Chain A
Amino acid sequence: MSFRAPGFPRAGLGILVGIGLAYGIVSAVRALYGWDPVVDGDAVLQVALIAAPFGFLIGLGAFDYWFRWASGAPTVPEDHSGHGAKSWKDYFRVNTDHKVIGIQYTVTSFFFLAVGGMFAMLVRAELAQPGMQFVDPNTFNGLFSVHASVLIFLFIIPVFAGLANYVLPLMIGAPDMAFPRLNALSFWLLPVAGVMMLASFLAPGGSFATGWTAYAPLSTEAPIGQVFFTIGVQFAGASSIATALNFLVTIITMRAPGMSFFRMPLLVWANFSTSLLVVIATPFIAASQFFVLLDRALGFNFFDAAKGGDVLMYQHVFWFYSHPAVYIMMLPGFGIISEIIAVKARKPIFGYRMMAFSLLAIVVLGFTVWAHHMFVSGMQEWIRVPMMITTAVIAVPTGIKIFSWLATLWRGVLHLDTPMLFALGFLTMFTLGGISGVMLAMIPFDIHVSDTYFIVAHIHYVLFGGSLFTIFAGVYYWFPKMTGRMYDERLGKVHFWTTFIAFNCTFAPMHLIGIEGMPRRVADYAEQFAGWNLFISIASFVVGLSTLIFVYNIVTSWRAGVRAPANPWRALTLEWQVSSPPPIFNFDTIPTVVGGPYEYGVPGAVHGVFKGAEVKTTATPAGAAPAGD
């Protein structure tokens, strides 16, 4: 065990140094101001929550190269020994290989899915009957707050970044991401944020319990557990911004020769659009949480109405990020679905250019709708109608996508395996979530159902029936590429059907009890809702159990599944033209792109050719002659 070399021992030391620094700085400043007591536990904790993660990251070695370079010391030349993973231990260090980082991201995110899902089970257990049975109200508020925060910031957003991290450089014919060291740092910020949010349960006064929205002034007056959210979000946000920049630069500068923007697979388009959203929007949630932190720690009174603060400003800044965030959690899924539907229907994507433009339209419109979350907030009344119109109009580009996928299915040769089932499940369930979204845009209806279970139903149709189904589809689809093994098709189908049915039983009735008058975020409810809540709770446990099928399938297939060929789906995109898993530097020769990514049914069409080497890795239909245009 060495405390000098980068690794976990030094990271542990880094945490201790961070905590020590926090003690030192806080006590010194308080002593200088003459405040009593000099050592204040809450104050030290807030500084330590910022300092200790940096200690951890520095100790782990995430900054080593940059520190050497900045201080003029000789940098360690990149000998690529850090690329690839030879044993499981290689996944527990700072690794700059995008494929290793992709798996680190994906596995970590699924860990947080398990934790967040477990919190949902506890919430549903408490809600199975009216009255309080298992937890006290404070714990209950904490459970649903951490459930949402963990699943948004540590599952959906990063798992898409993880899948794209793995496949996106392969898809555009690049050897790696543009900034591999930044990529590694982005990943390691995530466990920091996640552990911090979960650790809030150990804080005096309990975990943060103000919802993932953390509205002021409830959050500025809450016990110290709130700060674990306030600061945790900064680390998750920094990770997401760094990754988005990385994707943008990679996509703009590292495409293989011949890959024009309109020859990019739609997954690449989707991540390009998402990254634009992340880079522009994420600083706003960082700001909103810094306001809360400054209010709490230093008495800035941004949100204390009695001292000139403005409570509504919090909501405007928060939703200016958090509405685009819904698209950050959806657009990458659109990309995954486009890949799968084209390959599994054996047809080109219908209206490829409109698919790409509609993504950009959603990016632009996505910034003009935030106040539809605030129709009952007491904000200026005139804002409502313009926001209703933009919100409704954003359904048009989304509708274009749905209809184009339907047209792609039409007259295809549909391979109804697990990824395709999840893709079709997404198509139908996301349509429902989209429809309830348009209904919510209508102000008079929204006034009635704001903050009710109708909202809970809507967001779960979008994020579970929408995002999570695309994530399952993507994981099954690229599982052979990422692990070199095939998953068990039969178990995959069982997983789909149990999840699909139990999901609908869980969330469909919530529309009804919401309109009937059950508010959300309540630990206890009126007797009249008891029947439906019991039904919902039982169905939600089935959802939880169905996930175990997925875990079992993935774990056993990864360990001992059938070896995967390079291209089991007969796909044209570049990631399938190399071995499974791909070579350490992705391509022995850089491919040249000669046509569109989805030319299924065009005789002899290929997307890319490997000049120099014979095209021996492909299994493209109708031979591998470089034809097509």
Chain B
Amino acid sequence: MRRHPTALMIAAGVLAAAIGIVLALLIDWFPTVAATQTERVSTLYDVLMIASVPIFVLVMTVVITAVIRFRMRPGQENEDGPPIHGNTRLEVVWTVLPALLILGLCVYSYIVLEDIEKAPAASQELHVGVHGEQFAWTFTYPEEITGGKELTTTELVLPVDRSVRFNIRTADVIHDFWVPDFAMKIDAVPGITTHYRVTPNRLGTYPVVCAELCGLGHSVMRSRVRVVEQAEFERWLQEQSQPAVEEDAGPAEQAAAGKEIFASQGCGGCHTLADAGSGGQIGPNLDEVLKGVDEAEIREDIVDPDAQIAAGYGPGIMPSTYGQTLSDSELNALVAYLKEATQ
């Protein structure tokens, strides 16, 4: 090989490319594969890695070889290289080959795109409304699904192995509805409804993330999605139509239920409340601002947050939808809890 340095370089390059591809395929890049879409996208990613690694290795190999073989040796200070100005055949090759490779990848990506966006038969699909508002997500299940009246909730629950189409809207600025484990996302855009569909295929609980900068609380605009069996999904829908707390529950039960609501609604992401162990800094510290405030006022602060704003905070930071997403009994419980926890 010593007499064939170029052959040595090619051998080293091929070996490095092979190792690189194996490593790239071994690394666990994607989050949990929790939807058919994630499967297709992560396969596409593997193909992209197989195409990309050799190109990077090629550049690295030539640079390293050139540095080793052609570096200036003592005594060469005033020497020049051979005056080679170009080579048309070579230049045609490195124009045409990359173009073909790239167009091939485009065709494959187009096929994947068609695949992950393909609509199932209309009756098969579940429609869920997604509503973004600084800084919380709410979800609506239409009457066809609930069997009763439309359900609005802060908890996203989906049946497994069934295509779901999200209809995404926003009340204020642009947000972006992303479930990393589903590998799909789209912006929530003022004035229009955007869509995408996924088919969750793995039971579990996954994060919902806002991916588009939406202001102060962008990083805490998170939620969860639970993928469950069809039977459990139906049971959950049933439960939602029941009141969270019995009407005649005592104050202690009310407050206990309220504490759960405080946690499940993600209130602590923005608010500090010692009793709940939360330390959010987007909104006012509830231990301070709710001290000595009566129940009617606490209720107003929740359902109409801009009516009275704590000093140092601007309007429009807190979602104004809790009056709709929380039932009356839930609101009562939450108010009772906040009253008790801040006295």
User: Which residues in A have some Cβ–Cβ distance to B below 8 Å?
Assistant: 131-132, 136-138, 141, 205, 209-211, 215, 217-218, 221-223, 304-306, 309-312, 345-348, 350-354, 376-378, 384-385, 388-389, 392-393, 395-396, 399-400, 402-404, 406-407, 409-416, 424, 427-428, 431-432, 435, 438-439, 441-445, 447-448, 450-452, 512, 515-517, 519, 521-526, 570, 599-602, 605, 621
Contacts and interface: CB of A to CB of B under 8 A. Distances in A.
A245 B206 CA distance: 53
B105 A438 contact: yes
A351 B60 contact: no
Nearest to A451: B211
A599 B78 CA distance: 15
Given A305-B190, A305-B191, 19 more contacts: A218-B215, A221-B173, A347-B84, A385-B110, A388-B110, A389-B103, A393-B99, A406-B59, A409-B66, A410-B70, A424-B63, A435-B56, A438-B102, A444-B109, A447-B183, A515-B31, A516-B180, A521-B218, A600-B80
B194 to A, nearest CB: 4
Residue with the greatest number of chain A CB neighbours at <10 A, chosen from B113, B186, B192, B207:
B113
Contacts of B294: none
A442 B94 contact: no
A306 B279 CA distance: 35
B213 A141 contact: yes
A311 B174 contact: yes
Contact of A411 (B45, B82, B279): B82
B80 A346 contact: yes
Q: Is the interface of B mostly helix, strand, loop or mixed?
A: mixed
A223 B314 CA distance: 9
A388 B108 CA distance: 12
B180 A517 contact: yes
A309 B94 contact: no
Contact of B219 (A412, A450, A522): A522
Contacts of A388: 106, 109-110
Contacts of A377: 187, 189
B219 A137 contact: yes
Interface residues of B, number: 83
Given A444-B113, A601-B83, A519 B76 contact: no
Nearest to B88: A351
Nearest to B86: A351
Interface string B99-136: 10011011001101100100000000000000000000
Contact of B81 (A312, A416, A452, A600): A600
A313 to B, nearest CB: 11
8 contacts: A352-B86, A376-B176, A376-B187, A388-B110, A409-B63, A416-B67, A438-B105, A451-B212
Contacts of A205: 314
A422 to B, nearest CB: 13
B151 to A, nearest CB: 25
Contacts of B109: 388, 442-445
Contacts of B82: 347, 411, 601
B52 A410 contact: no
Nearest to A144: B213
B219 A523 contact: yes
A447 B178 CA distance: 10
B242 interface: no
Contacts of A347: 80-84
A345 B79 CA distance: 10
B213 A431 contact: no
A311 B189 contact: yes
B183 A350 contact: no
Given A435-B52, A601-B80, A601-B83, A525 B185 contact: no
B239 interface: no
A378 B189 contact: yes
Nearest to B83: A601
B85 interface: yes
B319 to A, nearest CB: 15
A517 B60 CA distance: 29
B181 A431 contact: no
Interface in B29-45: 29-31, 40-41, 44-45
Q: Which 8 residue pairs spanning A and B have beta carbons closest together?
A: A305-B191, A517-B180, A522-B219, A601-B83, A347-B81, A412-B81, A378-B194, A601-B80
B81 A442 contact: no
Interface string B141-177: 0000000000000000000000000000000111010
Contacts of A399: 94-95, 98
Contact of A376 (B180, B185, B215): B185
Contacts of A309: 191
B106 A389 contact: yes
Interface in B203-260: 207, 209-220
Contacts of A221: 172-173, 316
A393 B31 CA distance: 30
Contacts of B341: none
A450 B80 contact: no
Given A354-B86, A412-B66, A392 B41 contact: no
A351 B91 CA distance: 8
